[in-house]
Chain A
């Protein structure tokens, strides 16, 4: 009597193997993509930090802090000085100090 038991048994074993292999491949892909994304995020965060927490004052650093920290409005470049007319009364003094 010819039976197909042996064939069906090996066939189902191959299908199980294929299912497990495809599941492992999907899991590997998901973990790989997730890990890469996480690595990129960490590297980006580190780069951003290192740019803003340098402790040594450089000319570039200090230049960037000028307008914000001094509160000075340096936008007007036209001279604010003029000639005083005769008979003017002084309202202030720029005396050497």
Chain B
């Protein structure tokens, strides 16, 4: 018998499920505390976050916490693994597209035209001294860790909580899932393009399962809808072949790297996914579904 609790944070749904109901309250408290720490370190919309301080001082090496070092490190790993398709230096491009506030505030305001983002500096320009915990970005560069921070937090929380409480744990943060521990039965998961949409059922025994889409976090502009998945090659919201991609991998960070890369750069990222051999479900612009590398025969969710 398992127990779960759901709440909202970071403009998305957070759900924690544990196999031992007795530890649910304590485990929820720990997950919330970790998310608070991550927000204080890497929150893009918090002027008092460490990331905002670094972004406001281009060209300087700024002392940062070990937590932010880890978060930036993971974002650079994702950039390397994806061949630059998931790039943390797209911060200015996301703002230029209009995503410069909490998503609900962006949706409520009068539509604003997008501005020219300029060239993406590239993840290789980030200066990270892991030993001394120093972080620097070049001029005209802003870091955005949104692509990897949620997945990292899901990974970290699931591993820590399952070890601490000795039970299976499922952490879900805005579409990024991580299962840790050994559940008596694999978790049953609905995979959908957006919360509330019709989805398909699969089981998840371990590892990470993430879904990236350009259909959920979007807003109106004078020329149509914009969304938050940036193609680093153009600096503009991606318009590749697939609108939604779900991927399984041993960790949520790895799964999210591939799912985001496929939405951001389309077929350019397909080779890396095929080489990695991770199961994936791709939904094209016209709704056509492609299942790769052993994605299980899906059953439609009720």
**Which A residues are within 8 Å of any B CB, using their own CB?**
52-59, 61-63, 65-66, 69-77, 79-86, 88-97
Check: B189 CB closer than 8 A to any chain A CB. yes
Question: Which single residue of chain B is at the shortest CB-CB distance from A84?
Answer: B201
A36 to B76, CA, bound (A): 41
* Given A66-B74, A71-B159, A84-B299, A96 contacting B127 (CB threshold 8 A): no
Q: Are B253 and A94 in contact (CB under 8 A)?
A: no
Q: Are A72 and B159 in contact (CB under 8 A)?
A: yes
Question: Which single residue of chain A is at the shortest CB-CB distance from B298?
Answer: A83
Find chain B residues with CB under 8 A from A70 CB.
70, 73-74, 77, 152, 155-156, 251, 253
* Given A53-B132, A70-B253, A97 contacting B12 (CB threshold 8 A): yes
Q: Are A81 and B296 in contact (CB under 8 A)?
A: yes
Q: Are A93 and B128 in contact (CB under 8 A)?
A: no
Question: Smallest CB–CB gap between B151 and chain A, Å?
Answer: 9
CB contact between B248 and one of A54, A59, A69, A79 (< 8 Å): that residue: A79
Q: Are A89 and B12 in contact (CB under 8 A)?
A: no
Find chain A residues with CB under 8 A from B155 CB.
70-72
CB contact between A62 and one of B13, B61, B73, B279 (< 8 Å): that residue: B73
CB contact between B253 and one of A72, A75, A81, A92 (< 8 Å): that residue: A72
CB contact between A80 and one of B74, B159, B179, B216 (< 8 Å): that residue: B179
A93 to B69, CA, bound (A): 30
Contact with A along B75-112 (1 / 0, CB 8 A): 01101100000000000000000000000000000000
CB contact between A73 and one of B203, B244, B251 (< 8 Å): that residue: B251
**Which B residues are within 8 Å of any A CB, using their own CB?**
2, 4, 12-13, 15, 17, 61, 69-70, 73-74, 76-77, 79-80, 123-124, 126-132, 134, 136, 150, 152, 155-156, 159-160, 170, 172, 174-177, 179-180, 186-195, 197, 199, 201-213, 215-217, 244, 246, 248, 250-254, 278-279, 294-299, 301
Find chain A residues with CB under 8 A from B204 CB.
80-82, 92
CB contact between A74 and one of B76, B131, B254, B297 (< 8 Å): that residue: B254
Interface of A is mostly: loop
Find chain B residues with CB under 8 A from A93 CB.
13, 15, 172, 175, 189-192, 195, 199
Q: Are A57 and B128 in contact (CB under 8 A)?
A: yes
Question: Smallest CB–CB gap between B78 and chain A, Å?
Answer: 9
Q: Are B216 and A88 in contact (CB under 8 A)?
A: no
Find chain B residues with CB under 8 A from A94 CB.
172, 175-177, 189-192, 209-211, 246
* Given A57-B126, A92-B17, A72 contacting B251 (CB threshold 8 A): yes
Find chain B residues with CB under 8 A from A92 CB.
4, 15, 17, 170, 172, 177, 187-190, 204
A89 to B134, CA, bound (A): 47
Question: Smallest CB–CB gap between B134 and chain A, Å?
Answer: 7
A58 to B76, CA, bound (A): 8
Find chain A residues with CB under 8 A from B203 CB.
81-84, 88
Find chain B residues with CB under 8 A from A96 CB.
175, 192-194, 211-213, 215-216, 244
Find chain B residues with CB under 8 A from A62 CB.
73, 76-77, 79-80
Q: A65-B74, A91-B2 are in contact. List 13 more A-B contacts (CB 8 A).
A: A57-B76, A70-B251, A71-B156, A72-B208, A75-B250, A79-B278, A79-B294, A81-B296, A84-B203, A92-B4, A95-B174, A95-B211, A96-B244
A17 to B22, CA, bound (A): 90
Find chain A residues with CB under 8 A from B207 CB.
76, 79-80
Q: Which residue, B159, B190, B298, has most C-beta atoms of chain A within 10 A?
A: B190
Q: Are B74 and A69 in contact (CB under 8 A)?
A: yes
Question: Smallest CB–CB gap between A97 and chain B, Å?
Answer: 4
